A and B are shown apart, each in its own frame.
Chain A
């Protein structure tokens, strides 16, 4: 079986896409309210809870779930496993869109949106957030560059100059591929470093100076399941055949990382003696159990079975659990675990926060669909090899 990347020649305006538009409009309303009324008008943030839904979902979770980009490009390009070529483009598209919306989400979350460029001029190398900002910014540019060949491929017949750009790009693209992996390792881990500065606020079940290692490992861990999750959703929605023959061996790698993550998490827990909090029955304890059982232990056990790995349906289910586990982990570390000592009331996101997050997510899916419809992104099987 061979493949080539092709635009999906299907109708664009389906009922599902119209639903997306409704969410996008809700997000637009939230954005207008945010810009006109300020953060206090649309969010429930307060003096003890400076970071809410937008940081934990749009930014931190968004970065983690875009990890399919660097993990697939590392596998197919750096480690030369050309067998996995077919999954790199959808993952690249997801990463490019994902990081774009991380930047957009951040833009609306910072109080002085118009001053977003200031870290480019004023530097503080001690700040983990400064490093995250620089890496996310550079990686976004790298992703756009990596995407140029896709555009060239599509339009080179109409604009011959794109054809020669395509050939030129081929020679230097390796620099950006490696740079993408390096930048990802840097900021995926540094997102974990962010909370290391707040030992008095982050619940001991999560607070460890190994947070950067766990964030990096879990990003690597969620990369391929995210590819499976997306492939499952998009191919079903576009009525294409599942790619189980590529996805099943891919997830074998994930099983290994998942096992390593589990062992390290348990070691860290016992080393710091935090097992006493496990069954304390508090919201934090339960959230931690949910994260570990649903997101790590259950899919790890499932993936040990050959039958699970061979079944498109079960592969999808196990992958979805891992994705959910990482989402819960990021929300846990940044919201659930975050309990300032002087806080007088708990934080729960406002309608406006949900609206903006849903709107950005819908826009991302909308653009993904638009891109796969008109650009050569989705791998299509060919009858004979070229």
Chain B
């Protein structure tokens, strides 16, 4: 009977091991990045912190009135994050000093990065969060149950939630003005509103080229890092900056696509439900064998009386 126990844990151990081993190497996992996705390039050296993008976003998406006016510069005194009431926010960082001692600000616009392989899409139980053909990560409230696993999964910590709604709360995040871009052929509201062309809309491929071009033309102006080129497997929104991104509140995110580990585990274990079926068969076999054995020993007079009722 000890053998059975050992076998039992052997089976479980093998299943667990298989699940996790397959998680680390690349395996059969394939990126679902769209080949010709749209994106935006944000040039932080150009942004003046006017918050016209915030205002346009608020208006186009019918978001709640902000607590302070969009002209009000005092909002910069605190760090803000996108969340239940805003899809995008601009923050101010004092990253250096001029010669006369005046601090030099860098303004940073934050919104959904529209990952090529989004963690939120992989995490969502129902497919309420999905990747549109044009590269936008879009939210379909009609499928959402409100589990908030997308918020747990997002490495850029973007999706917000309407905690104040009792019956109909939604996940709140930038959807790349999906309807405006794909159906009306317009620019995303924020990119269209920017008076200093800090936000450039285009195909991701072209934007990467543009970013490299600007860096090559004026190497002293930029740090040697395009945020979003590789982060989380690459994002459709990318940033260039004159100041290290770690000083500007950008989360540090590994270069591997976030869904790769979990999807490798899930798919290698549960494709065609092979592991549950195998486990079921093994346990069924064991159960049958042990039933026979118990019957035999009950029949045999040499055995101790069974402890069954």
Contact = CB atoms under 8 A, between A and B. Distances in A.
Contacts of B276: 182-183, 186
A259 B283 CA distance: 24
Q: Which 7 A-B pairs have the closest CB atoms?
A: A111-B146, A80-B290, A40-B163, A50-B148, A213-B16, A122-B126, A38-B166
Contact of A341 (B122, B157, B169): B157
A197 B157 contact: no
Interface string A208-226: 0110110011001000000
Interface in A2-59: 2-4, 35-41, 43, 45-48, 50-51
Contacts, number: 246
Interface stretch (B79-87, B174-182, B185-193, B198-206): B79-87
Interface residues of B, number: 79
B280 A341 contact: no
Interface string A102-120: 0000000111111110110
A343 B157 CA distance: 9
Interface stretch (A93-101, A123-131, A162-170, A275-283): A123-131
B144 A115 contact: yes
A126 B145 contact: no
B161 interface: yes
Contacts of B289: 80
A287 interface: no
Interface string B236-265: 000000000000010111100011011101
Nearest to A84: B307
Interface in A355-386: 382, 385-386
A340 B148 CA distance: 15
B308 A82 contact: yes
Contact of A197 (B24, B165, B261, B267): B261
B147 interface: yes
Contacts of B309: 2-4, 85, 382, 385-386
Contacts of A130: 125-126
A212 B17 CA distance: 9
B308 A178 contact: no
A196 B12 contact: no
A115 B128 CA distance: 12
Interface of A: 1-4, 35-41, 43, 45-48, 50-51, 74, 77-83, 85, 109-116, 118-119, 121-131, 133, 174, 177-179, 181-183, 185-186, 189-190, 193-201, 209-210, 212-213, 216-217, 220, 253, 257, 260, 340-344, 382, 385-386
A197 B168 contact: no
A93 B260 CA distance: 39
Q: Name, among A3, A35, A213, the residue most crowded by chain B CB atoms within 10 Å (CB to CB).
A: A213
A111 B253 CA distance: 28
Q: Name, among A45, A115, A125, A194, the residue most crowded by chain B CB atoms within 10 Å (CB to CB).
A: A115
Interface string B30-53: 000000000000000000000000
B15 A185 contact: yes
Given A119-B125, A342-B81, 12 more contacts: A39-B163, A40-B163, A80-B290, A124-B126, A127-B124, A128-B265, A131-B266, A179-B280, A182-B283, A189-B19, A199-B254, A341-B252
A115 B143 CA distance: 8
Given A79-B5, A114-B167, A209-B24, A197 B265 contact: no
